[in-house]
Amino acid sequence: MFELFRLRSHEDALDSSGPNRWDWALLPLILALLSIFAFAAMQMSRPFSVGEALQVSLDPFYLPYYLLRTILRMFTALAFSLLFSLIFAAIAVKYITAEKVMIPALDILQSVPILGFQAIAIAPFIALFPGNLLGVECAAIFAIFTSQAWNMAFSLYQSMRNVPAELQEAAHIFRLSSWQRFWRLELPFAMPGLLWNMMMSMSGGWFFLVAAEAISVAGQDIKLPGIGSYIAVAIEAKDGHAIAWAIAAMLSGILLYDQLFFRPLLAWADKFRFEESQGDTAQQSWLLDWMRNSRWVRTWTEQFWSLMSHALSWFSVSYDGTSTRAAKKTISPLWSRVFDGVLIVVTMLAIYRLVTFIHSDVGWSEVAHVAGLGIITLIRVMLLIALASLVWVPIAVWIGLRPQYSQKVQAVAQFLAAFPVNLMFPLVVLAMVSLHLTPNIWLSPLMVFGTQWYILFNVVAGAATIPNELRLAADNLGLKGWLKWKRVYLPAIFPSYITGAITASGGSWNASIVAEYVTWGKTTLIADGLGSYIKQMTEAGDFHRIALGIGVMCIFVMLLNRFFWRKLYLLAEDHIR
């Protein structure tokens, strides 16, 4: 079992078993974090009934409290997203029958707008916790979860599918069981990319925060205390100063959790890099250095991982000659045919229900109209992803190969990825109205503003895992310019790029609901497209057309992933890895 920290011996650690100066430095920080999060957790479970007003003040004095509530929701959603990703990737990679259903299902899930998930989740969560604010809080956390989980699941699945053959051969020689391979090989190998995608998922949660915290249920608008609700109230009031304060609060929060959470994890995960020598690629973290020097923390972590090792050994099975990647589990031919038959029957029933719904509730002309809008949005998505790739792939490779710079731009990239597009509405409306610009063209960049970072983060993660030996070999062979990109960099980062492009594409479809329908005060700009259609039907309360718009969006995303991105993904796995 891999350890939490790379423990080092220090002379002062041998002199005494008592606390050292690093323990006393960490103790106030740990106690402060536990206290403030405990306080925020208590506020999330106070008595509440639907219809009760929750006041959100634009006074900047309340922003630290709102920031605390928002960050607690986001980290809670991140924890559930990580658990979902571990279970999803392990099952999808191990069982070929499950993979046939789970990967298309993930395509559908990432294409469903957050408004669709929210409409489904609000009532059950409120019913689960009657008379308590925790039900609404759970609905908000679930909405944030839907903006984080799919990206992390795709990343872990892709990494586990691309474990190098020599590492699998080593696991075979050491006769590791499937369970041991997962914990000792596949998860550690996927750790650097998973952590970068966790950062991106946190930023994705910020991007859709307004929709997650400003909830509508039973004709009531519920605005939970948080940065998202603060932004929503500021937009309604057209308060530019409040928006500026919200941006400052977001930046402060991102810098804090970058230093206290992600930076230490990235520095720790550097030991999982696939190379014999660390070279100059090691990330640094002042907090991780403190924790490594702390006598208390080292003792606690040693005891924790010792207990974990014993606990996991209970679930270990004997060697079966397989690995999660090498030998997928298949069921017998009879049960496989039964499964395929059930799948066909379910599909036929779904098609029948869909045809009935269209014929009786919306009409075929409306379907044709929505499909046309979907084609318009598809063109926007593909053009924007192509442009974003041309810009960010070279930059991401440059950053990933130079960790001394990646640490400097890490927090900046997180802030830009987290920046809600709603905060740009004042500038967008002012510029477009003043210059008489066409919404169908100039609103389009808003779609990719929050999703292009999926490409940046995934390619940075892919470039950072290029072995130092491979880079030195390329230099010794005199590879330069385009030849070096063609033979070394592009093949190395291609699987990571495909993962980023898939999630960026799905996120762009989701972001079209915000980007194609822009409102600032009483001014509204609308671009033709599927996103603006769903937004308009949501405001009109037309459930049938909302369902139609979301269904068409899911179909477009599934077909795009199946016949375009999936082909590139298989190419990356079979020919370039």
Q: What is the pLDDT of residues 325-360, one digit of tens each?
A: 444 455 566 666 666 677 677 777 777 777 777 767
Return the minimum-mean-pLDDT range out of 33-42, 120-129, 333-342: 333-342
pLDDT in tens, 451-472: 788 888 888 878 887 877 787 8
Structure tokens at 150: 């799919």
Tell me the DSSP string of 534-552.
HHHHHHHT-HHHHHHHHHH
Which residues, 6+ apart, have CB-to-CB distance to 88 below 8 Å? 102, 106, 153, 156, 157
Which of 242-256, 286-300, 527-541 ranks highest by mean pLDDT?
242-256
Q: Is the dihedral of CA 343, 346, 349, 353 positive or negative?
A: negative
pLDDT at residue 26 greater than cutoff 80: no
Residues 6+ apart with CB under 8 A from 546: 116, 119, 534, 537, 538
Residue from 567, 573, 568 nearest 158 by CA: 573
Q: What is the pLDDT of residue 23?
A: 72
Per-residue pLDDT, 1 = 39
Cβ neighbourhood burial of 47 (10 Å; 0-12, 13-18, 19+): exposed
Measured CA to CA in angstroms, residue 13 lies from 29, 488, 530 at distances of 21, 44, 63
**% of the chain at pLDDT higher than 70:** 82
For the CA atoms of 452, 456, 458, 461, what is the dihedral angle to 10 degrees? Answer: -170
What is the chain's mean pLDDT, rounded? 78
Asked if residue 298 has pLDDT above 80, the reply is: no
Query: Which 8-state DSSP code applies to residue 271?
Result: G
Q: Which residue has the higher pLDDT, 102 or 574?
A: 102
Question: Domain residues of the chain, as ranges?
Answer: 50-284+363-576
pLDDT at residue number 326:
44
Alpha carbon distance 63, 231 (integer Å)? 11
- Please give the CATH topology (third level) of the domain spanning 50-284+363-576: MetI-like fold (1.10.3720)
Q: What is the pLDDT of residue 282?
A: 59
Query: What one-character-per-residue DSSP string does 39-71 give?
Result: HHHHHTTSB--TT--------GGGHHHHHHHHH
* Mean pLDDT within 487-504: 84
At residue 555, φ and ψ (nearest 5 deg) are -65, -45
- How many helices (H) and strands (E) are present in the chain, helices listed first? 29, 4
Contact, 324 vs 162, CB < 8 A?
A: no
Look at residue 281 and tell me whether its pLDDT is greater than 70.
no
Residue 538 burial (10 A CB sphere; 0-12, 13-18, 19+): buried
Residue owning tokens 């762009």 = 508
pLDDT tens for 471-494 read 788 878 877 878 888 888 888 888
- Cα separation, 259 vs 249, whole angstroms: 16
Residue 247 pLDDT > 50, yes or no? Answer: yes
Distance between CA atoms of residues 565 and 561, nearest Å = 5
